[in-house]
Every structure is written in structure tokens, then in C-alpha cells.
């Protein structure tokens, strides 16, 4: 097995592995943590670009390792055009935020802790957009809620930051639990939790008596994460976070997670009255 055979999990897991080390750099040199986070973003970006031609050519790269086959659990990643687009967004904007935060974070603040949280969030977002197993996707989905809580509450001495972080975690975390239910129902209908199988079984899904609960649960997860009406109220409170956090989480990446999931599941779930009513209705109202 060569590096090319593990490149997708490498891209996703590198930020998680590097996060604790970046946090330790601050004890000797504040700039080391910024350099460390920047190098991680660049290395992941270079690795992604090295396989980008596969999806640009209309093909799909899937790398899977079985975990608990009897439960349909696998450590599985996929790279297609949609995943490539969002992964590039996450890494490029993430790199820019790393550079900006180097000059933004005050000398009295813990820069290593900031970059450690940022890398945790970056890895979680990459896990969402590059997952092939929908249960694995949900795990990364919840990790974005946890890491965003840490980032929003970074200025622990500010009450508005702490309150905004708790509100964001409560709303997006609850939506994530709904998404877990939707993912489990999808796997039950199709007989597989692999996205390739789910996307190939649209007729079985929309004709299932469980289709309506699936739609409601998944859209609840999407709307809470993307701050759509009536779950939009947490977003202004979360803006109490440092500017680099607001730029990365709420403008470039986390709010886009809901949009990504809608796009990812569109071939399997769309085209029905209930889908159109809730998706278009929430978008227009928001």
C-alpha cells in the first residue's frame, strides 16, 4: 500500500494529528504555532491538488477500510467534483485565515490554543465533504459543532462569547442528533450506509414510507447548521467570536456544511413536493 492509497484519509486526519502539537508550540514561540498551522493547511492542499485531476476528469476516487461490516460501518472516503470544490474552499480559506490570525491575535492571547482549535475545525469540515459513509459524515458533522464551540468561546473572559458558543452548540448539536436519525433511516431503507449506494437508490427512498421522516430529520440538521429560518438566531450571537473565527466558520465553511449536504443528497432525496416546500420555503424566508 502506497501513499496514494491513503491520501484521502491523510488529508482529513492531518489537521487532527497536528492540532495538539501546534498548541504546544506556544510555550516557546508564538510564531511557531502559526507556522505549524500554515504548513498543515499547505500540505493538505498540495495532497488534495495531487489527486484533483481524477475528479476534474469526471471520475471518482473512493478509498475504503472495513471497520464493522455487520453494522455497515466503514472508514470510507470519496473525492468527486462536489467534494473537491468544498475541500478547496475549506483549505484555501483556512490558509488565509491562518495568515490573518497571525497578525490579529493579541500577544496576550494564547495563539497556540487558537490554531489548535482551528485545525480541529478544519479537519472536521474536510471529513464532512470527503466522507463516503454517511454515518462517518455525521460523526464529523458533530465534531464541527464541538470545535466551533471552542472557537466561538475562545475569548473566555467575554460573556457574549461564552453565551454565543453555548447557543451555537445547543442548536447545531440538536440538529446533528436529528441528522443521526435521518442517516440511520436512510441506511435502513437502502441496506447500506455508503453514499454511492444511497445515491443510486432514489426510487427506493422516495417510495419508502420512511421518506417523510428522513426528509424532516435531515433538513432539520441542515437548517440548524446553515442558520436557516427558524434556526437563524444563533448566528448573530456567535459573531462575538474573534474576527478570524467568524470569517472561517460563518462566512466560508461551517454554514456551507448544510449547503454541501443538500447538494450531496440531492440526487437521492429531491424532486418531491415535501422537498421543494421545505427547501425553497426555508431559503426564501431566511
- Three-state SS string over 61-96 comes to EEEEEEEEHHHCEEEEEEECHHHHHHHHHHHHHHHH
SS3 248: helix
SS3 194: strand
| pLDDT exceeds cutoff 70 at 105 | yes
pLDDT at 138: 94
Q: Structure pTM?
A: 0.92
Residue 265 pLDDT class (50, 70, 90 cuts): very high
Residue 132 pLDDT class (50, 70, 90 cuts): very high
Looking at mean pLDDT, say which of 138-152, 162-176, 221-235 comes out highest: 138-152
The Cα–Cα gap between 39 and 263 comes to: 30
Alpha helices, H only, the chain: 7-25, 30-56, 81-104, 111-130, 134-152, 159-190, 195-199, 202-206, 211-225, 234-238, 243-245, 254-269, 273-285
Cis check for the bond before 230: say yes or no (omega within 30 of 0): yes
| pLDDT exceeds cutoff 60 at 27 | no
Q: Are 199 and 231 in contact (CB under 8 A)?
A: no
Determine if residue 231 is left, alpha or beta; phi over 0 gives left, psi from -120 to 50 gives alpha, anything else beta: alpha
Q: Which of 15-24, 152-161, 215-224, 275-284 has the lowest mean pLDDT?
A: 152-161
pLDDT at 139: 94
Local structure of residue 192 (DSSP, 8 states): -
Percentage of the chain modeled with pLDDT above 90:
47
Amino acid at each position: 500500500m502506497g501513499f496514494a492509497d491513503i491520501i484521502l484519509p491523510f488529508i482529513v486526519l492531518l489537521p487532527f494529528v497536528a492540532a495538539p502539537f501546534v498548541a504546544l508550540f506556544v510555550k516557546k514561540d508564538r510564531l511557531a504555532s502559526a507556522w505549524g498551522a500554515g504548513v498543515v493547511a499547505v500540505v493538505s492542499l498540495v495532497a488534495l491538488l495531487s489527486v484533483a485531476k481524477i475528479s476534474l476528469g469526471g471520475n471518482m476516487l473512493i478509498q475504503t477500510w472495513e471497520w464493522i461490516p455487520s453494522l455497515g460501518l466503514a472508514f470510507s472516503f470519496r473525492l468527486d467534483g462536489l467534494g473537491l470544490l468544498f475541500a478547496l474552499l475549506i483549505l484555501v480559506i483556512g490558509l488565509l485565515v491562518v495568515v490573518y490570525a497571525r497578525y490579529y491575535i493579541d500577544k496576550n492571547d494564547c495563539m497556540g490554543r487558537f490554531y489548535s482549535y482551528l485545525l480541529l475545525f478544519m479537519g472536521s469540515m474536510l471529513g464532512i465533504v470527503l466522507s463516503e459513509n454517511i454515518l462517518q459524515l455525521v460523526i464529523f458533522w458533530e465534531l464541527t459543532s464541538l470545535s466551533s464551540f471552542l472557537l466561538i468561546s475562545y475569548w473566555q473572559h467575554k460573556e457574549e462569547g461564552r453565551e454565543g458558543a453555548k447557543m451555537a452548540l445547543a442548536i447545531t448539536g440538536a440538529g446533528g442528533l436529528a441528522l443521526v436519525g435521518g442517516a440511520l433511516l436512510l441506511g435502513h431503507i437502502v441496506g447500506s450506509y455508503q453514499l454511492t449506494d444511497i445515491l443510486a437508490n432514489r426510487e427506493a427512498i422516495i417510495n419508502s414510507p420512511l421518506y417523510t421522516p428522513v426528509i424532516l430529520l435531515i433538513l432539520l440538521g441542515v437548517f440548524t447548521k446553515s442558520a436557516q429560518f427558524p434556526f437563524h438566531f444563533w448566528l448573530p450571537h456567535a459573531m462575538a467570536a474573534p474576527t478570524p473565527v467568524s470569517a472561517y466558520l460563518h462566512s466560508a465553511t461551517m454554514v456551507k456544511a448544510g449547503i454541501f449536504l443538500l447538494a450531496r443528497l440531492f440526487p437521492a432525496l429531491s424532486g418531491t413536493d415535501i422537498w421543494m416546500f421545505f427547501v425553497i420555503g426555508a431559503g426564501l424566508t431566511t
